[in-house]
Amino acid sequence: MFGAGMNAETTPHCTALGFDDKRIQEVLSMLRLGEEHRAIADRIRTQVIAGRADELVDRCFTAFARTRGFSLIERSFGAKSFKRAWINRLRRFGLDFDTKEYFEERLATAAAFARAKIHLSLLHLPYFLTQEILIEALSEKFNDRATTLWPFLNAVLKLTSLDLYLTAEGYRLPELDELEGDLDKLRQETFRLRRRTSIDELTGLMNYAKLMESLEQQINRARRRGHESNPLCLIMSDLDFFKKINDTYGHMVGDLVLRHVAGRIKSATRDFDLIGRFGGEEFVIVMMNTDLALGEAIAERIREGVMKAPFHVKQYNIPVTLSLGVAMLRQGENKESLLERADAAMYEAKRSGRNRVVVASDS
C-alpha cells in the first residue's frame, strides 16, 4: 500500500534489486543528495507540513480520486487507507532518505502496485502532486524571497526525483518511455522554478537577488585570485528620460523599451559578462578580468549601441539613450561600496548632460 508501514529490520526488496549500502550511496551521489538536504527536509516538515498534512493532501486528493484507474487503487487498497497512507508519508517527507529502510518502503510500494496491475503513472502521480503542493506552500511561506526559497525548492525536487527513481526500480515493468516523459516534466519544472527565482521576467536578465548573489561570488573570486591579475569592473546604467517615455506612450510601451534596451546591452557585452536588472530602468553589468580602461570601452560600446537603435513600435520612433557609470573593484572593497561608486558616477553622467559614460574618480 502507498506509504504502508514496514519492519525496518527486513529489506527483501532492497536485497532482490541489489540496493546494498554502496549502491544506495551511489544513487544519493547521482542525485547530489547530502546532509544539507536532510536538514532542509527537517525544516520543511516542521515549518510547512506540521499540522497541515491533512489539509495539503485534501487540496489534491479529490481530483486524484477522479483520475482514470483510481478504482483499481480503491479495490486493491481502499480509498481511505490510501489517503491516510499518503498523509502519513507527507508527514515523514524526506525523513531518513539515506537509509535502506527508506529505499525498501518505496520499492515495496512499487512492487505492490505492479502486482495489483496498477499503472506506474498512478503510482507516480501522488509524488508529483506532493511536489506541487509543497512548492505552493513554500512559495506562500517565503513570499518569493528567492535566495531563501530556492534551497527548499531544490530539496523538494531532488527528494521527488529519488522517490520516482525508486518506484520505477521497484515496479520493474516496461515503462521506460513513460518514465523518461516524467523525468522530462521534472526537468522542465526545475528549469521553470530556477528561472522564476533568478530571472527578471520582463527583460530575461538576472533579477536583483541573483545579480547581488553573482556579484558577491565574483568579488570573492577576485579577492582569492588577486585584484591585479583578475580585475573586476562594474557598470551602473540608467535610461535617460524614462519617465517621459512612460508618460507619453504608456507603461506597456515603457516595458517594451526596457526589453529592447536589455537586448542592446546583451549585444554589446561579452558572453561571460553578467547582466542584471538592478531595479526600475537601471541595469548593472559585472565584468570579470576587466580593467578600468576596458570597462570604460565596453560601457561606451553599450551607450552607442543603445543610442543608434531607437525603439520602433507602431507609428512611433522612440529615441533611447543611457547614462553609465563605471567603477573598478578596489582592494578589500565590498559590493555595496562598489555599487555606490558606480552609481555616483552614473549620476554624474546624468548631471553632465546624459547619454554619456563617466568613470568613478576614485577608481
pLDDT of 119 reads 87
User: Under a CB-based contact definition with an 8 Å cutoff, are residues 162 and 97 in contact?
Assistant: yes
Q: Which domains does the chain have, with CATH numbers?
A: 12-198 (1.10.490.10), 208-359 (3.30.70.270)
- What integer best gives the mean pLDDT of the chain? 89
pLDDT of 347 reads 96
Please list, residue by residue across 208-229, b when 16 or more beta carbons sit within 10 angstroms of its beta carbon and e when fewer do: ebbbbbbbeebbeebeeeeeee
- The packing angle between helices 176-198 and 146-171, to 10°, is 180
User: Under a CB-based contact definition with an 8 Å cutoff, are residues 107 and 19 in contact?
Assistant: yes
pLDDT of 176 reads 40
Give the Å distances, CA to CA, from 195 to 115, 179, 271, 314. Answer: 40, 24, 19, 31
What is the model's pTM?
A: 0.50
Q: What percent of the chain has pLDDT over 90?
A: 67
pLDDT digits (tens, 9 = 90+) for 58-76: 988 988 998 888 998 999 8
CA distance 328 to 344: 13
pLDDT digits (tens, 9 = 90+) for 299-317: 999 999 999 999 998 788 9
- Just list the catalytic residues: 281
247-255: which pairs have CB atoms within 8 A and are 24 or more residues apart? Answer: 249/313, 249/316, 249/318, 253/313, 253/316, 253/318, 255/202
Q: What percent of the chain has pLDDT over 70?
A: 92
